Amino acid sequence: MAYLVDVAIRYQIRPVRCLQRALVLQRLLAKQGLETELKIGVQKRNGILFAHAWLESAGLPCAENEEACGRFHPLLETRP
């Protein structure tokens, strides 16, 4: 499912951000009966604040690099 979302993102005129991707993927996975949690985290690098949104299922990132997501400190966690 994540692969299909990523393919669709490539053909968008405007850039699709990680939050938009995560929300679309969460909705599609929920329709297939898979419950996920939306996580929003922050990370500070070289004095610059970065944010990232991703989905987790059973405590593991869905279609994301686990190591990369682990660098962000979760601020928000939600379920559909």
16-66 pLDDT, tens per residue?
999 999 999 999 999 999 999 999 999 999 999 999 999 999 888 888 888
Read off the pTM: 0.82
* Total domains in the fold of the chain: 1
Reported as half-sphere exposure (CB side, CA atoms, 13 A), residue 59 has a value of 0
Number of Cα atoms under 13 Å in the Cβ half of residue 2: 12
How many CA atoms lie within 13 Å of 32's alpha carbon, on the beta-carbon side?
A: 10
- The domain of 51 spans 2-78
